[in-house]
Amino acid sequence: IRDYILVIMQKYQLKKRKGDFMEQWHQKLHNNTTPDDIYICEAYLRFLRSDGNLDEFYNHLEEHSITRERLQTFERPIIQEPIFFPSIKNGLINEFEHYLQILKNVHAGADLEKCVDEAASCLDSG
């Protein structure tokens, strides 16, 4: 989780922008990734797909009980709003769709069913 967000930031030169949303979210992910990060990523994807509509971002977070105030209370707070970069929109959408799957695999047990099926196939049917 920590490494892949850095890959995205470097690929799209987002690391140069100290103190912005992406840098703050990266710091949160680096220190304490939680299931909240699934919803933050989904909200960011909505933001990108809506051409930078912050209402899409915050409405999705609030649907999952993550308010602006709560973002600011994380150990590594997220204070800044996302910035929309039209020229890299599609690339970021692709990257963060993949990143969302990583977050879900870690925090939501998205591949739990696959694990159960694999374990069941190893059990003796007797």
Q: pLDDT tens digits, residue range 67-126?
A: 999 999 999 999 999 999 999 999 999 999 999 999 998 887 756 666 677 677 777 554
Please state, in angstroms and rounded to a whole number, the distance separating the CA atoms of residues 99 and 92. 10
Residue 54 has pLDDT above 70, yes or no: yes
Q: What percent of the chain has pLDDT over 90?
A: 72
Q: What percent of the chain has pLDDT over 70?
A: 89
Q: Which long-range contacts (CB under 8 A, 24 or more apart) does 81-86 make?
A: 81/21, 81/54, 81/57, 82/21, 82/22, 82/44, 82/47, 82/52, 82/54, 82/57, 83/17, 83/20, 83/21, 83/22, 83/52, 84/47, 84/48, 84/51, 84/52, 85/12, 86/51, 86/52
Q: Name the more confident of 2 and 52.
A: 52
pLDDT score, position 121 = 75
